[in-house]
Structure 1
Amino acid sequence: DDATLSQASTLLADEASINNSSGSDQVELESGQEPLLEITPIEEKPQSTEASTWSIPNLENPTSQTATIVYLDQGKRYRVLEPEKIRYQIEESKTTYSIFVTVLDCQPLQKSPLEALITQTKLSPEKFDLSTTLEQPKPSSKENVDVWKVLDIPQSAKPYLALKDLCYPSVPEIHDVWQQNGKVIILLENRSEWQLLSNLWGSEEFSKLQILYWLDEMAKLWQALEPWHCRQSLLELTNLRVDEDQALGLERLYLEREENPLSLEDLGQLWQRLFNQSQRTQFTSLSTVVRQLCTKEIETIEELRSHLQGIADEQEYDLYDSGMQLTEAVLSEMARADTEPPDSEELLSDLSAKEQQGDEMPTVLLPMSLQSLDDLGITDIGHQRDHNEDCFGIQTQVKKQENPIGRTIQGRGLYILCDGMGGHAAGEVASSMAVEVLQNYFKENWQDQFPTEDSLRKSVYVTNQAIFDINQENARSGSGRMGTTLVMMLIENTKVGIVHVGDSRVYRLTRKRGLEQITIDHEVGQREIQHGVDPELAYSRPDAYQLTQALGPRSEQFLNPDVQFIDIAEDSIFLLCSDGLSDNDLLENHWQTHLAPLLSSRASLDQGLANLIELANEHNGHDNITLILVRVKVRPNLAQPRLN
């Protein structure tokens, strides 16, 4: 009913544009998770050999239709939004055409049929190699499974699945696919709101290094798309998009025509068109590379990327040299004026800010600097507990300097999450004490330099001793001894330190790598796995989930906290959580709907955490739930160039 659909729209606007290919399964349909731009309907339906008998499924003959509601599928999951607005696209073959509409997933918290099918195959990762093309299959054996036969999906959907992990976010994510009435329907991530690369190319807002980054991304994509015969996707200017963080992405995949083989010459001609249409002046060395591509003097991707890297190094050196000259000139002027000279790093930082006014630029060519640091924490008692033994603490300092030519940001954050144990009036005491002791420790021991591994370990031992002493003073024994897990993260600009004891976790999410569990639980099952025991056997033990480490119950000689350091090289989300959220692989199964959207600067962390709490209570709810979410945005640091 209308109320149900309205609620589904509020929970998750998981919209998708659908491209329905008539008479061929070689053409994809498109979809997404962002609102689609309004499409102006064409005056007449395009003519084709099947135009007189062809009908749009569920639009001209819908499965369920009222004055306002039309569904695309028989199961009434995908609701068509504005069915009267249809975009047609005639394919180059002139015998088929695609149709694009926008749909709303009315069951966003459930796996799509495609996701369920992949899960049900229960194939191990080494057997489930989606990157194997049909033209180059692996030798058949009992150990190798033909995954395409298992999935039984249309040819046009296979490149999206195969390239998902390798090329996201460059290649849009596939949500679902099926065949209906002899036609192929594919739901893809909707990227219609992403800006056109051609519109940004001529903007002086973007530096030469950003242009080089986009060119390098296109070169890598060219190589990745070649085995799947989808390089044509890079040659359609309207298909090249840029997201809010200036990451390059394709709106859809185009299959190549066998009678028109492509080469790097075609890529060079596209680059020439971008410069010509934007009227942006090519710098000399890049102009040479484009010319060599068009004349087939550059024949391999490796050679092309080597040239691009060389140009990037030249640009970095020129910037560094200009910065040094500016510094010397300003220092000389300040000396004549008999005033205090500014810090040279500030001068270079101001210069770099002017060069890279594009917001949140991702790049692989330069060291990164902090662009923004956002964080938020929340705790919930859950559905089955009568008190909350979790505790968390957040301390953040962000210093921002702005002037007419740019801004620089320095950030520092201390994030602590503890899951207490020991019963009422004990677990919450241990967890809150741990947070307080750790905050006081770093107030005294984190002044200038980022804490070392020894300092991080010492902070854990000091905290453990404080809780242990109370247990000893009160003569607590056995399960009556209070204790707590600990997961702690320290951030200073783009450097991260992580410490943990117990089964509370840290996850990291990036666009390129997806969701990663950074910490390994300190519990019996994991200990057995590390000793070589099969995971299924290890977790069949009745004590598999019993903690092997915690703060407080025992002295420090039984404590060995895990410490690791990470350098942030791309926009990232870090999630610290208690097992009230992480149990039952909840994040692993729902990160794409509940975490991935939060990478966007426009996404609300408050709403994101509220949705995660709701998800945990719906599927777990047996324990307290505590989360800390940290969103870190970075950009190239031109003030610290890498000189070879």
Structure 2
Amino acid sequence: MNSSQPHPYLWVAHPLAAQFSFPDRVADRFLVRATHIWQDTRPEEPPPFAEPIPSFLFPYLRLFSHQLHLPNLYGTIELEGSLVPLLKNAPIDRQGNLYPTLQEVWSEASPTRQMYWLWQILNLWTPLKESGVASTLLVPENVRVEGWRVRVLEFHRDLPATDRAEEEPSSIARQLSAAAVAVVSDASPATLLQLAQSWEPLLPDANVAIASFLEEIIIFLKTEGLALTTIANALNADLLNQASQYPLRVTVTGATEQGRIPTHNEDSCYPIAADLIANGTQWQDRLSSHFAIVCDGIGGHEGGEVASQMAVQSLKLQARALLAEIAEDPEVMTPDLVKEQLAATIRIANNAIASRNDQQGRESQRRMATTLVMTLQLPQQIATSNGGTRNSHELYLAHVGDSRAYWITTHYCQQLTVDDDVVTREVCRARSLEHKAQQRPDARALTQALGTRNAELLRPTVQRLIIEEDGVLLLCSDGLSDGDVVEESWSAVIPDAIRGKISLEAALKELIRRANEKNGQDNISGVATLYGIMPQNPVLVNLAELPKGSAQKAIEIEKPLETAEEELPVEEEVAPVEASAMPARAVEETETGILEEEDSGEGIGWVIKLLLLTALVGVMVLLLRWQIQTDQESETPASSPTPEQVEPETPSSSPFSEPGDSE
């Protein structure tokens, strides 16, 4: 999703492209890699495109801000008198292969991921419907997945049945199954009934944990007059129930640097070292386990550092209040309600800065302002079958301006946010293609920031994610993201932190070092949060092979809160960090859903307890076997079921595992 580094592969959304194959070259520029997949051999040059832009291509432009899931219009080319769209950000991997369709990998996915995919599709329905392309989601070959993320190959217009016969077929229309053709061509416009019909083939291979619920959702979709929000809330409830089955581990680190050239630092972020040692107590509260923020005081505005600090402090207070409210209220809030609350907190912070500007008589470019990217891991409590509660694994992400968020795993780096700048504005208004807008002298000028105007004119972007795989959420100012530093460096740094080969703070320091070399003209700030899904099955380990402190780290999951104030050991020896850098804080969820710190002791006492517990279990197993052997005629008491009779509480597949993901 990085506009300065176009995807090397393009999807050609027209059936005429099928006549070309590797190694054909089209228009002396585009190398054909596979059917409908071309590569621009001269990406530094403006791509060809038709002017004025045809109206049937407007949806690709107006939905530009949804590029986490949707392709973008790269350009157009004429073939045999037809205008052929060239799409970037299509679901194509680095080797030039299409990502699999949802149906192709459906049976192998965990119940959490299956529900998450459907929830994303349902949330795409409204924006696509408003742009007249909801039929896009009805074509199985068009809905593809990259890990947790649903990605669309190309758009299909919603047309009356009488008009469909005259419409030129899309690039994949000739590849559709008979059932898919029936769904798409049945009527107009696209309906929830058609969406239900497109989901019905998923039922036979749905995980047993969600199969009956999926049947209910399909019935809801077929029910005339039932509001989409009602269906979405029902689907969300089961999604949270599935996601909460696994404990959540969190490690967070943050740092900010002035940069090589600037004379002062206008960035502010949370958490950093100063936040951990406040009042002389490490981790006085649990805020940094759930809340992270990066603000970049806008260069050229007086008091940028003041604005960024005000935003951080205001939003910290409001996040703490929201977390306290969640802890006291067992009622689970819907994503829409949480988004509204987070947008409201951002507007409050905006008004605080704007009021300061007004009080000081600041006008125009003298008004202090700041960008914002923040995340809130909302620990809503989901009831479990044994009477306990679990963390809902929800991650809310909000941003204003060009500070970014990335989700990084051992397999991919995904930019989650779209910059609020002139380029985005011009494309979303269908006034320009992205490459043309980038040629404007004001291309990177921000279209909104905190403090520049009244809150009613502010439009924060708030989205909800579900944590269902191991990964790092990176929040950063443009000093870290400019020059494609993250895109070019993530694979050499972040996977080792996820695997535990280096500490998270060492990984963040390396990213900042690389950014300082390339973007030293700006302040550089980042907060990295590593989310880990605890394995559902016990793992046999050799304690003698574990590094110092690891034994206690592996088993000390339910340590009381009052004993959790010692500093954690880092994962490896690293050089001393600057005062602005924060040692990684590791926490993990207990059976009550509360995130707690791990102790840094040797863990000898816990090892002894573990050995005693193992011996006790062994004795119980021997007694059980003796009872079975001596009384084969009697039934096993309900209070002592055999392992074969015990139904596992969680599904058999890990929520973050994928086919072919073994390392």
State the TM-score, normalizing by the size of structure 1: 0.44
More strand by share: 1
Q: Per chain length, whose mean CA-contact separation is higher, i.e. which structure has more relative contact order (CA < 8 Å, sep 6+)?
A: 2
State the TM-score, normalizing by the size of structure 2: 0.43
